[in-house]
Structures are given as structure tokens and as C-alpha cells.
Amino acid sequence: MSLESIDRVAVLGAGNMGHGITEVTAMAGYDVTMRDIKDEFVEDGYESIKWSLEKLEEKEMIDESAEEVLSRIDTTTDLEEAVADADLVIEAAPEELDLKHEIFTDLEEYTSGDTLLATNTSSLPISDIAEAVDTPERVLGLHFFNPPVKMDLVEVIYGEDTSDEAAEAGYEWVESIGKTPIYVRKDVRGFVVNTIVGPFGGEPAFMVSNDEATIREADATMAHERGYPMGPFELGDLTGIDVGYHVRKEGDSPIPPITEEKVEAGDLGQKTGKGFYDYEDGDGADYEPEDAGDFDWLRVEARMINRAAFLVGEGVATPEEVDTGVQLGLGFPEGICRRGDKIGLETVLEKLETLYEETGADRFEPHPYLEELVEEGKTGEEAGAGFYDYGDDELGPYHDLNYELEDGVLQVELDRPSRMNALSEDLLSEIDDLFSSVDTDEVRVATIEGSGDRAFSAGADISGFADTAPTDMMDVTPGFETVNEFPRPVLAKIDGFCLGGGLELALACDLRIATERSSFGAPEIGLGLIPGGGGTQRLTRILGETRAKELVFRGNHIDADRAEDWGLINRSVEREDFDDTVGEFLDDLRSGPPIGLKVAKKVMNEGQDASLDAALVMESQGFGLLSSTDDVLEGTAAFAEDREPEFEGK
């Protein structure tokens, strides 16, 4: 049982999750059979896949045609036929344990002992489902999020008997389809993501029930001040108030009175036209930033951080896994462990202790792991350690970016795919920190790219704006300047949206290569703003006033071909040629003379703002300085000997 042994996949269920999983599996190049119990279910699922693939093809988000992807999908209503040759089966049937038992009993009969058996359940224990088979070691959870085509995260869940071999094969398979897996090492209710999200909706509902807050206060604070993609009540209305209600009921968790009232009245949210907000006779979730008041957000976040302490302390997941889970699965602006470390775990613990003392409610009882961290003085970033270690003997830890330094190439990936790699305060300071602390002797060239398949970066993180002081908003530039002044060439690899602050970051790089589908713009004017990370100045210098003003004043996007035509980027290339073109640039830059490139960059950057006379002096000083380097001796010797030079940066 390994990734190499997985060629054919069967997905059982053609509903929202089933057909979505089928689609992403086929998109990754696997042959897949989608099975449901009735022809009409299978046909509906297939039509939805076809529609979605055609949209993706239209937007150039897939490298092949919709037809080619569809040619890898078979459909059937016959379970045995669907799974007979499958190496991996993913069950995505309704959430009824008896039904899943029936399916897994049949799977034991129809599949070979080597077939990996996965369930996409979001609420049933994997171990309970695995009871139906004699070989529970090959049963695991692969929990996709809705819709699978859009959502990057998959939880890979161990049941009590799941073997490491099976879990690893599942994990690697998830990576092979371009999704991000996280391990859930124990079969806990809610796995990782739903464990954390519980208090996000639940605690504000208790507070409103107790007249300690209003719905609008809670939503406005959490969305506009704490940066969550939407307020807890808006979220409840969107997912269905009854859904959260049933999860609590099944888990024997106390139910907030307001939730109970809504369910009893049949006001279940958007689907019934009314929930916490009125969508028929009212304006829906119409809260505004000024509704925030003094809502006690710490009470909500302290409970989520306590749940994170449970997950980490009990060995269910690492802080990195918890944080990846909430960012990709829930669109949280940053990881919840990271947030705890920033708030200070002693503050979190104190909040929980006070509430526990005042109310006696179990949900506030601090988890021993949280107490342990605080007792050991690991109270967060300021103390140098918390959930994470912030020791300063190495780079990072970085939460919003990834980097790799190999063979002289520093590859930096902006890692906030659920927010289109929008530049949060953290991400900006991590860029600043990395480019100012990395050992430049080890680096010959750096690249910056976005993670996910949609954007280089869609600009500064708008969700943080309402709560940001004007002085902090003006703090965008230092990170970009560090990149601009980095003594090695920096190349922006752009595939997708490159907007606002994202464009400004790309402009701070020396070279820009983009895929044809990419688009560029300075949309800040639409927000009542102007570019604040060097955009007004660098655009004018690079494009000239006419084109720069068009971009800044109109706020429109231009495509990559026009961007190349205007000189905004060096190359616009087809996606399939992207890596090769970048590779050709990198080969030249990596083998070029480090000091020569450094001086060229400095003189060209600084010369732009000097008079021509002064700039020419800078150039000749640089020229003179280089003439005494070993690299120049090597370059001229290599020329005379008709060989490639080997520059050492001396």
C-alpha cells in the first residue's frame, strides 16, 4: 500500500462532495469511477463536473481541455464494478453509520486486501466505520472540504487501527492531486478543523443568549477587527443553524439558547430566508465595521486556542497542522496557535480561568497543555516560545511564507492561498525578516511566487484594514524596500492575480515573468486608497506617467500580454513554458558574477533617482571597484580560454 500502487480510484457518491472529489482526482490525471445508487444521481453529478471543468477551461485554470479530463471519468451504479480494479476507494455517501457499514461490508468482499479504503465523513468516527471490515488497518479518513475543487485542505485521519502505511499512502496521494494534507493522528470528534470552529460560532451565541453582546457587535468585531472571513452569526446562517445544532446535540455539547430558539422556530438561516438575520424582508447580514462596540473577542479566541491546546497536547496534530487546517479549511486570517502566541498564552489562560471561576461552565476549563506551556514560561512570541519556538538562532519560524535555499537559489513562496496570498502584516514582516537575515553569501538569486493556483498576490490584506491604525497601514514599504535592496537579483514568478500590494512587491523585484493568464492592476483607488507600497512611484518610473496614471486612476486590470507590451514584465509565457522560461533566467543569474550583479543592481536602482551626471559617476565607481575582483580575472581568463567562467563572488 503506497502512492506508487495507486492508479485507479473509485468514488462512492455523486453528490456535492462525491462529484467534487471525482473531479479533482481526474484533474490530477487519475482514472476514476464515480458510483451512486441511481442513474439520475450519477448523471447529475457528471453534469456538474462537466459544467465546472468547462468553466475552469474557459478561465485557463486547467492545462488540458475539459473533454480530456472527462475522458478519465467512468460512471456506474454497480458497486462491485466501480471498486473491483480500484487501488483507492473514497466513500462519500450520506452521514449514516448503518449505510456506511453496509458499504464497507461490500467493500471487504469486492476489493483486494491491498486496496486503500477511505471515508470522506466529516462527523462519524473513522474507527466506527472501520468496524464493518476485518482489515481496519487499511481504513482511513480523507476529509475534503466543500467544494473540493476550490478548497485546498484534506484532513488525513487515523482510526484506532489505521496503519502508518495506509495513512502515509493517503497523505501522499492527497499531495499528488495538488491538495494540502494534514494528519489527524487520533480519531477525535470534529477532527482538527471542526474542533476549532465550534467555539467560533458557539461562544458568541452563548454571549448573545445571556445579553452580553448583540449579533451585530459579534459579527462586526470578528470580521472587521479580528479579520475572520465573516462573522460567526453570518457563518451560522450560511451553513444552516440546524447543522451546528445537530453537531452539538450528537456530541452532547450544551446548546446556546438562541440556537435552540432559531431551530424550534424553523429559522435556519439563508436556506429558509431567515436565521440570525432576515434575508427576505431585511438586508441579510448587514453589519458594519462601526457596529463592533466592545465585544469580548478574547473570550471567543481563548476558547479556540484552548481547543488547539487540546489537539496539540493530546498528540492529535502539531501546531503547524492546526494552523494550516484553520487557514485553509476555514479561511482564518492566521493560524490559531500563532494567534495564541501573539496574544500571549498567559492572557489566554487567565481569561479562561476567570470565566471558569465565574460560570463553572466546563467549556472554559483550561486544558493541561495550555497550563503546562504557561508554567514553563512558554507564553508566546514575546517570551521566545509558545506553541511555536521563536529562538533566534535560525531563520523564522515563518507562518505565512515558505522558503527553500538550494544551490544558491532562494525560493520564497507567499503562503496564504485561501486569501489569494494577500499581504498580511505578518507576511510583510516575514518577507522583511527573511530578506534581511538570510546569509547572502549562500544566495546567488532569489525568486518570489504565490502558493495555490490563483494568484501571485491579490494585494494588501483588506480584511485587516478596519482594525489597522493609519501608521501601521503606512508600514507596507519597508518589506518591499528590503526586497528591492537585496544584494542579489530577485525574480517574481507570477501566475494569476498580481494586484495592489502584490503588484508593488513584484515591482520591488528586479525581473518579472508571468503566465499569459495572469492579470495586473492597482485597484486601490476602488477602495478610496492609493497604492501605498511604492506603486505610484515605481509604476511611473517603469511605465512612464501616461500608463502609470491609467493603472492607478482607473484601477482596472491588464492582461499579461499588455503588461509585457508596456514593459511592466519581462516575459508573458504560456503556462506550459513557464518553468522553462524561469529556469533559463535563473541559470544565467545563478552562474553570473555575484559582485557584478550586486553592483549592477545598486547602480541601476540608485541611478534612477540621481541626475545623469551623478548616476554616471556611480557607474564608473562601480566599474572601477569591480575591476579589482577575482571574478573579473576569472571572467577574462574564461573568455581567453574559450570556456564558461566560474564566478565565486570574490
Ligand X SMILES: C/C=C/C(=O)SCCNC(=O)CCNC(=O)[C@H](O)C(C)(C)COP(=O)(O)OP(=O)(O)OC[C@H]1O[C@@H](n2cnc3c(N)ncnc32)[C@H](O)[C@@H]1OP(=O)(O)O
| Active-site residue identified among 155, 321, 524, 564 | 524
Q: Which residue is nearest to ligand X (CB)?
A: 500
507 forms part of the interface with ligand X (CB under 6 A)? no
The grid cell for 458 is 491579490
| Nearest distance, CB of residue 506 and ligand X, angstroms | 12
Pairing of strands 557-559, 519-521: antiparallel
Which of 396, 532, 607, 649 forms a contact with ligand X (CB under 6 A)? 532
Task: Please state the length of the chain.
Answer: 650
- In angstroms, the CA 26 to CA 21 distance is 9
385 φ, ψ (degrees, to nearest 5): -160, 150
350 counts as catalytic: no
Number of residues that bind ligand X (CB under 6 A): 22
Q: Which residue reads 424550534 in cell numbers? A: 264
500 forms part of the interface with ligand X (CB under 6 A)? yes
| Among 167-175, 280-288, 461-469, 579-587, the segment contacting ligand X (CB under 6 A) | 461-469
| Among 97-105, 106-114, 295-303, 455-463, the segment contacting ligand X (CB under 6 A) | 455-463
| Among 194-202, 435-443, 454-462, 482-490, the segment contacting ligand X (CB under 6 A) | 454-462
Which of 336, 499, 505, 551 forms a contact with ligand X (CB under 6 A)? 499
What 3-state DSSP class applies to 284?
A: coil
184 φ, ψ (degrees, to nearest 5): -115, 105
Element spanning 180, H or E? strand 180-184
Which of 459, 592, 593, 645 forms a contact with ligand X (CB under 6 A)? 459
Neighbours of 587 (CB within 10 A): 11
β-bridge partners, 448: 412, 492
| Active-site residue identified among 504, 574, 641, 644 | 504
* DSSP, residue by residue, 341-394: HHH-HHHHHHHHHHHHHHH--GGGPPPHHHHHHHHTT--BGGGTBSSSB--TTS
Would you give the DSSP letter of residue 137?
G
| Nearest distance, CB of residue 114 and ligand X, angstroms | 38
What 3-state DSSP class applies to 12?
A: strand
524 forms part of the interface with ligand X (CB under 6 A)? yes
Which of 198, 244, 340, 523 forms a contact with ligand X (CB under 6 A)? 523
CA distances from 633 to 253, 603, 619, 637, 638 (A): 75, 22, 20, 6, 8
- In angstroms, the CA 316 to CA 323 distance is 13
- The answer to whether 335 touches 305, Cβ cutoff 8 Å, is no
524 counts as catalytic: yes
Binding map of ligand X across residues 373-412, x = CB under 6 A, - = no contact: ----------------------------------------
462 forms part of the interface with ligand X (CB under 6 A)? yes
Residues 201-260 touching ligand X, rule: CB under 6 A, are 229
Residues 37-96 touching ligand X, rule: CB under 6 A, are none
479 forms part of the interface with ligand X (CB under 6 A)? no
| Among 44-52, 252-260, 316-324, 453-461, the segment contacting ligand X (CB under 6 A) | 453-461
Would you give the DSSP letter of residue 536?
H
Binding map of ligand X across residues 611-640, x = CB under 6 A, - = no contact: ------------------------------
| Among 169-177, 251-259, 282-290, 457-465, the segment contacting ligand X (CB under 6 A) | 457-465
Pairing of strands 455-457, 497-499: parallel
| Nearest distance, CB of residue 57 and ligand X, angstroms | 16
14 forms part of the interface with ligand X (CB under 6 A)? no
Would you say 218 or 427 has its CB closer to ligand X? Answer: 427
Alpha carbon 286 to its chain's center: 27
| Among 206-214, 235-243, 433-441, 523-531, the segment contacting ligand X (CB under 6 A) | 523-531
- In angstroms, the CA 353 to CA 373 distance is 15
β-bridge partners, 34: 11, 75
Residues 313-342 touching ligand X, rule: CB under 6 A, are 331
What 3-state DSSP class applies to 76?
A: strand
Alpha carbon 374 to its chain's center: 29
Which residues form the catalytic set?
Answer: 504, 524
* Positions in the binding site for ligand X (CB under 6 A): 229, 331, 419-420, 422, 458-463, 476, 497, 499-501, 523-524, 527, 531-533
